[in-house]
Amino acid sequence: MVKNRRRKLSTNISVHQSWTHVPFEHPKTFATLAMDPAKKKEIVDDLDAFRNGKDYYAQIGKAWKRGYLLHGPPGTGKSAMVAAMANHLDYDVFDIELTSVHSNTDLRKLFIETTSKSIIVIEDIDCSLDLTGSRTKKKDAEDDKDKAAKNGKKDTRSKVTLSGLVNFIDGLWSACGGERIIVFTTNHLEKLDPALIRRGRMDKHIEMGYCCAPAFEFLARTYLGVEEHELFATVGALLQEVDMTPADVAENLTPKSADDDADSCLRGLVAALEKTKEDKANGRGMGQHPEEDDWGAVAGQE
Ligand SMILES: Nc1ncnc2c1ncn2[C@@H]1O[C@H](COP(=O)(O)OP(=O)(O)OP(=O)(O)O)[C@@H](O)[C@H]1O
Of 33, 40, 207, 244, the residue with max ligand 1 atoms within 8 A of its CB, to mutate for a pocket test, comes to 33
Return the C-alpha torsion angle 127, 128, 133, 139, nearest 10. 70
- Give the C-alpha separation, 247 to 83, whole Å: 15
Question: Considering only CA atoms, which residue is closest to atom 11 of ligand 1?
Answer: 247
CA of 26 to the centre of ligand 1 (A): 12
Q: Are 192 and 179 in contact (CB under 8 A)?
A: no
Q: Which DSSP state fits 11?
A: E
Q: Which stretches of 90-212 are DSSP H helices?
A: 104-112, 125-128, 135-150, 162-176, 194-197
CA of 52 to the centre of ligand 1 (A): 28
ipTM (interface predicted TM): 0.97
The number of the ligand 1 atom at minimal distance from the alpha carbon of 222 is: 4
CA of 159 to the centre of ligand 1 (A): 29
Q: Residue 208's pLDDT band (boundaries 50, 70, 90)?
A: very high
Residue 230 backbone zone (phi > 0: left; psi -120 to 50: alpha; other: beta): alpha
Average pLDDT over residues 197-202: 88
Of 26, 68, 76, the residue with max ligand 1 atoms within 8 A of its CB, to mutate for a pocket test, comes to 76
Q: Residue 302's pLDDT band (boundaries 50, 70, 90)?
A: very low
Average pLDDT over residues 29-40: 90
Q: Are 212 and 240 in contact (CB under 8 A)?
A: yes
The candidate with the shortest Cα–Cα distance to 197, out of 166, 242, 153, is 166
- Residue 204 exposure: Cα atoms within 13 Å on the Cβ side: 20
In DSSP terms, 301 is beta-bridged to 206
pTM listed for this prediction: 0.83
In DSSP terms, 67 is beta-bridged to 182
Q: For strand 92-95 and strand 300-301, is the pairing parallel, antiparallel, or unpaired?
A: unpaired
CA of 34 to the centre of ligand 1 (A): 10
For the segment 83-97, what is each residue's pLDDT rounded down to a tens digit?
999 999 999 999 988
Pocket of ligand 1 (CB under 6 A): 28, 33-35, 74-80, 187, 208, 246-247, 250, 298
Instruction: Return the pLDDT at 2.
Output: 38
Instruction: Return the pLDDT at 99.
Output: 84
CA of 32 to the centre of ligand 1 (A): 11
CA of 158 to the centre of ligand 1 (A): 26
Q: Are 175 and 64 in contact (CB under 8 A)?
A: no
Average pLDDT over residues 106-128: 87
Phi and psi angles of residue 11, each rounded to the nearest 5 degrees, phi first:
-125, 150
The number of the ligand 1 atom at minimal distance from the alpha carbon of 80 is: 18
- Give the C-alpha separation, 118 to 111, whole Å: 11
Those residues whose C-beta lies under 8 Å from the C-beta of residue 223, and which sit 6 or more positions away, are: 250, 253, 254, 265
Q: Residue 295's pLDDT band (boundaries 50, 70, 90)?
A: low
For the segment 123-168, what is each residue's pLDDT rounded down to a tens digit?
998 887 765 444 445 555 555 556 555 666 555 556 788 888 888 7
- Give the C-alpha separation, 201 to 190, whole Å: 17
Helices and strands, counts by H and E, the chain: 12, 8
Q: For strand 92-95 and strand 8-13, is the pairing parallel, antiparallel, or unpaired?
A: parallel
- Give the C-alpha separation, 299 to 81, whole Å: 9
Q: For strand 18-23 and strand 300-301, is the pairing parallel, antiparallel, or unpaired?
A: unpaired
For the segment 64-86, what is each residue's pLDDT rounded down to a tens digit?
999 999 999 999 999 999 999 99
